[in-house]
Amino acid sequence: MLTHSQIWTAIDRLALRAGLSASGLAKRAGLDPTTFNKSKRITPDGRSRWPSTESIAKILAATGATIDTFVALTQDTPRGTTRAVPLIGFAQAGAGGFFDDAGFPVGRGWDEIAFPEVEDENAYALEISGDSMLPVYRDGDVIIVSPAAPVRRGDRVVVRTRAGEVLAKELKRSTARTVELKSLNSEHEDRQFAAADIEWIARIIWAAQ
């Protein structure tokens, strides 16, 4: 008999296989984005809330997975193969309280996504919203960002300005005076900032494609 925890674990793992967050998986399956939120897994009075068979059928269809695959995802995996990575929506990243001055995740309000081990223990995930980063990143895709990874010309990066703007771009050029960023979407202009106006730059180390 499958437990409540195993069913939800399988949903999280299926989302990971598809390169999505749980909410991204729900959206891809045509469900309400909050269907699989952690807050929906327990009722206000503390009882376990189970996903519907219809919602499971829809995410299997959306990912091309079989019921056998889903059942396999309920089983324990070797320790150390995945870990919980902090997750917020890309639009939230511009709000205060989620990062320190060096770009490391801090504070409350983060969700979590299971992800294979990465070297940077401070890595975090951002869920893309909208189509401003097409065709590289689609609505619902998840990118993993490493604030400790070295950043080089040509890397895809997340940049936060001192004014609170957060951008996902390609690092075109960086000097002691200026930072030049190439837009991922050709319909959007490249950007250039004074180096003093950049709070932090962090490299994108993984993304759903």
Give the residue extent of every domain in the chain: 4-73, 82-207
pLDDT mean across residues, the chain:
88
Phi, psi at residue 36, to the nearest 5°? -110, 15
Q: What's the CATH number for 82-207?
A: 2.10.109.10
Task: Give residue 202's pLDDT band: very low, low, confident or very high (50, 70, 90).
Answer: very high
What pLDDT, in 10s, does the model give residues 144-165? Answer: 999 988 899 999 999 999 999 9
What pLDDT, in 10s, does the model give residues 13-60? Answer: 888 777 788 888 999 999 999 999 988 899 988 899 999 999 999 999
Q: How many residues does the chain have?
A: 209
What pLDDT, in 10s, does the model give residues 77-116? Answer: 544 466 788 999 998 898 888 999 899 999 888 988 877 6
Give me the DSSP letters along 115-180: EE--S-TT-EEEE--SSTTTTTS-TTBEEEEETTS---TT-EEEEEETTS-EEEEEEEEE-SSEEE
Whether pLDDT at 209 is above 80: no
Determine the pLDDT at residue 77. 55
> Structure pTM?
0.65
CATH H-level superfamily of 4-73? lambda repressor-like DNA-binding domains (1.10.260.40)
Determine the pLDDT at residue 74. 86
In percent, the amount of the chain with pLDDT more than 70 equals 94
| Rounded mean pLDDT, 174-179 | 96
Determine the pLDDT at residue 42. 92
Determine the pLDDT at residue 1. 76
